[in-house]
Structure 1
Amino acid sequence: MKLKGLVQSGLGEGQFFLSLPPYRQGFEQVLGFAPFAGTLNVRVAEKDVAQVERLRKNPALHVPGFKAEGREYFQLGLVRARILGEEGALVFPFFNHHPPGVLEFVAAKNMRKKFGLQDGEEVEVGIEE
């Protein structure tokens, strides 16, 4: 499946969560790479929101949750994906603060820096089903 969307700024939470060692180790085990501590957020067209929600409800892969310092961190759903030829995954947290239709893409590299991406630029997301 391929979806087009616009790059947009996120909430900054991905940086925190992707820097936690249990999540980093989980990504390495499941995807085979350590993720950059941050996500690339892509808002898809309204007509594609139902497809995003279907992926969110049935992710192909999972990074297990864990407990640390008296706090519970929930399982993450993942779907392998590619943007601009860069392999990565769409991340679907148990609790999501983004509106429907916003994808969070994680890769080994900082996608904004590697490709000079700015808010409002269109990208195509290739999604493994």
Structure 2
Amino acid sequence: MYTTKSLKKLALLGAIGKPLKISSTEFMHHISASSKTAARVLKQLEEDGYISRKLVAGGQLVQLTNTGIELLKKEYVDYQQIFCKDYADLELYGHVITGLGEGQYYIAKDGYMSQFRDKLDFKPFPGTLNVRLTDQSSQMRDNMDFLQPLIIHGFSDGERSFGGGKCYPIEIEGIKGAVIIPDRTHYPADLLEIIAPVKLREMLGISDDDEVKIVVKNPQKCK
């Protein structure tokens, strides 16, 4: 009952990114509950992994964990879907780099290709374009977490299992495509893998170090 409400209050009080000192007596006013209930709620949030907590003189130091932050992000996305606000698309800039060459092998798998066709409405070229974001765009990259992704499910081909991931529809220099983020990836956050129905290097006439503009489309925008 109190989980998301309490996490939201703690976040508003500043418990994201740094510890917040607060007592149960103080916290009870923020969740309209008794001091005993407030203490129990904080203890439960800690046990569930949503916050870290350290008892100190005069109260406790509380900070949201990544699990707690992700829960609030999911709530944010849900509210976007409910109220359908006209949030802007996300514009990112980066430079083309040479990848490890793994994209062609994975994308060509039927288990992935069929999902891409169904969910993205295009058949991807068997390969990815790798783009390293500029410093400014890298800082904006986390805003993608507030957008609703298209889920790509894992599968087995009878010999080995392949993991799932997320897709975000985009336009790159006006061409329809998608950023694909595997659930298990060794790539840093500032590196994007992009799929499209065409070979982007040839279609756009780009090569390593060229700058490109990527517009991440917001599916919650009102029609």
- Structure 1 length as normaliser, TM-score? 0.91
- Where does structure 2 lack aligned partners over 5 or more consecutive residues? 1-89, 219-223
Offset, 1:94: 1.3
Count matched residues.
Answer: 129
- Residue 43 of structure 1 and its aligned partner are, at CA, apart by 0.6
Match of 2:91 in 1: 2
Structure with greater strand share of residues = 1
Aligned AA for 1:23?
Y
1:79-122 deviation digits (Å, cap 9, x = unpaired): 01011110011000112222220111110000001122100000
Give the equivalent residue in structure 2 for 1:90.
179
Aligned-residue offset at 1:56: 5.8
The worse-fitting range, judged by mean Cα deviation, of 113-122 and 49-58 is 49-58
| Distance in 2 (alpha carbons) for counterparts of 1:54 and 1:92 | 14
CA distance in 1, matches of 2:128, 2:145: 16
Counterpart selection for 1:119 from 208, 216, 222: 208
Assess if the C-alpha contact under 8 Å between 1:59 and 1:77 holds in 2: no
C-alpha distance in structure 2 between counterparts of 1:101 and 1:121, whole Å:
16
**Residue 101 (structure 2) pairs with residue 101 (structure 1):** no
Q: Mean alpha-carbon deviation: is it higher for 51-60 or for 85-94?
A: 51-60
Partner residue, 2:64: none
Bigger Rg, structure 1 or 2? 2
Partner Cα separation in structure 2 for residue 114 and residue 92 of structure 1: 23
More helix by share: 2
The equivalent position to 2:136 in structure 1, one of 17, 41, 47, is: 47
Shift of 1:55: 2.6
9 and 101 in structure 1: CA distance in 2 versus 1, 3 angstrom threshold? same
Highest RCO, 1 vs 2 (Cα 8 Å, sep ≥ 6) = 1
Selected match of 1:78 from 167, 173, 180: 167
Structure 1 unaligned spans of 5+: none
Task: Determine the structure 2 residue equivalent to 1:30.
Answer: 119
Q: Specify the code of the residue in structure 1 equivalent to 2:153.
A: P
CA RMSD of aligned residues (A): 1.7
Q: Which moved more, 1:51-60 or 1:115-124?
A: 51-60
Contact 2:138–2:190 (CA under 8 A) maintained in structure 1: yes
Q: Is the partner of 1:97 in helix, strand or coil?
A: coil
Given the two structures, how large is their TM-score scaled by the length of structure 2? 0.54
* Runs of 4+ with >4 A deviation: 56-59
Contact 2:94 2:137 (C-alpha < 8 Å) held by counterparts? no
